[in-house]
Structure 1
């Protein structure tokens, strides 16, 4: 039972199933439109999200229904590996239909999600410190009224703060027109710069593990989840780029996806620590942007840690990206 079970007799609380893909997609799109997120969902992506390796919908999800309509949902994702700081990372994901907010549903879903995340963290990482993590949405624009309603998913922040979550990190969403200004010529320093072949999937994953090992909150991604990302229906491998050194080692990479029509999303960009400072990140990004422009994309986008220890924000500024929005991650230690 949850604390919101008595708010309406017509509500039922059950786990998600794959049969919910159409209803969940519709819910996510209602939330996207109301919150001005600019992240429309489609059924193929929703199915990939629900079937991610390591996910048990019967235990890790909770759906709230009114009759046949899905009105709220939560999903727990506890990473199989510890993060950079040796913590179990417990991601809490969810959505509440705008017309059903302020009824206690969000609180009940967080209560369920935190209980399940604590159980799963204890199973996977016994005796290890853990942290709950949730999205705090997009910061209001400077021109927004001080007392106006929060948009961009930020209306969850009062609930997070009441539950003891605090802002832990900020992320910059950056965009660039394509083709845009000419990109500077880059010497790849002897590396081969090209689209990755399918046979280079694991070499690229290993490069990603090395590149992000020292980044805040990062935890190694396993082979199964990497394969899902690599082969996702939104993946654009021909527009992705890797820089390969001797013996086939991937030194730098830019993984491209198309989450919105006509927008090239640089989902992952990284360079092995030993290869930093050679211009390889600039080389792989430049090749991906040029390929995207030739393919007819109107713009490119990416997200970057506002406090990136590698100075990535300066690189993206130099390549013509501009800062569009700021998003927040909230955290709470698990007692």
Structure 2
């Protein structure tokens, strides 16, 4: 069906937090892809200091109701490959009317424009991520020339008796997150992805939007330290969405960051942080824990999480287009 002519098309604004949250929640109720949002959650994402909404977003409205959106996020610190993320979706009641196609076209054109502005000498890779079970989205990505290149598992842990024991190795200690150790958390995360092509370092501004935002749970975030050298051996950072708790009745501790320095991997740094955090989540009244990980069954991270008691809930696909 053709796109209706009386709809309003315009860039998003921070003041659209309520309309965006309503849209995202309607989409999640149908697709089960990202959880529930509050108006504050949506406004915080829109207020990112990294994104310029007038140049990177487009939304379609029927009166005050947001029917769909497109948002493109470039990477300020990209090297070799500039992996631009194009996100977007359409309200379930208004699908198959051409809205998704128009929003997809905006995403590609905007990705190319932002790439030319910020990283014209690098290779451009436009990426979109969505649940593999949503057939309409799969068809839209394929029609746009995008191909599935990676799969990621959404895994959950039931807590309770499923929490494994992982004694802290001699010479290491677990510390809770503090404002003073925040930079160590970011540094360990950035160091662990520096050799992965296409994954970028997070600037301080990006870190505040992505990790230590309103949903960040410092009381459930921990650092493993080498007592002798003072080195941060690994970190685990948790966020939890109140809107998701309200919708499901379950407090979920989402492991946003799990990162360990290579020298400490064989000493069980990840296992210690996971076990400690799961125990703390249980003690603090959380109903479950969750995370996302590469779906490759041969990955060592997946084995660590499965051994810790995490079970795959669903799978998301990374669709990419090289330009």
Common fold: TM-score over 0.5: yes
Note the 1:266-281 alignment, pairs <5 A.
266-281=255-270
Which of 29, 40, 44 aligns to 1:48? It is: 44
Higher helix share goes to which structure? Answer: 2
Preserved CA contact (<8 Å) 1:10 1:67 = no
Q: TM-score, normalised by structure 1?
A: 0.89
- Write the distance in 2 (CA, Å) between the matches of 1:230 and 1:325: 23
Map of 2:138 onto structure 1: 157
Can you give the 5+ residue segments of structure 2 that lack an aligned partner in the other structure?
246-250
Q: 1:318 aligns with which of 292, 304, 307?
A: 307
Gap change, CA 1:14 and 1:299, over 3 Å in 2 = same
Superposed CA offset, 1:204-236 (max 9, x none):
111111112234642111111112344312111
Structure 1: give runs of 5+ residues left out of the alignment.
141-150
Relative to structure 1, is the Cα distance of residues 182 and 104 closer, same or farther in structure 2, using a 3 angstrom cutoff?
Answer: closer
Instruction: Note closer, same or farther for the CA distance 1:8–1:24 as it changes in structure 2 (3 Å cut).
Output: same
Partner-residue secondary structure (3-state), 2:97: coil
Aligned residues: 315
Which secondary structure state, in structure 2, belongs to the residue aligned with residue 232 of structure 1?
coil
Question: Does 1:218 find its partner at 2:199?
Answer: yes
Tell me which of 213, 232, 235 is aligned to 1:250: 232
* Contact persistence 1:240–1:255 (CA under 8 A): yes
Q: Which among 176, 199, 222 is matched to residue 180 of structure 2?
A: 199
1:240-268 deviation line (CA, Å, top 9, x unaligned):
11101245432111111112321111111
Runs of 4+ in structure 1 over 4 Å off:
none
Q: Choose 6-15 or 267-276, whichever is displaced more.
A: 6-15
Residue 35, structure 1, aligned to residue 69, structure 2: no
Root-mean-square deviation (CA, aligned residues, Å) is 1.9
- Alignment partner of 1:133 out of 127, 130, 138: 127
Q: Residue in 2 aligned with 1:148?
A: none
Provide the C-alpha distance between the structure 1 equivalents of 2:163 and 2:298, rounded to a whole number of angstroms.
27
Quote the Cα distance in structure 1 between the aligned partners of 2:287 and 2:20: 29
Three-state SS of the structure 2 residue aligned to 1:120 is helix
2:220 counterpart (239, 250, 253):
239
Report if the CA contact (8 A) 1:239-1:291 is conserved: yes
For the 8 Å contact 1:242–1:250, the answer to whether it is kept is: yes
CA contact (8 A) 1:210 1:273 kept: no
Distance 2:193 2:130 in 1: 22
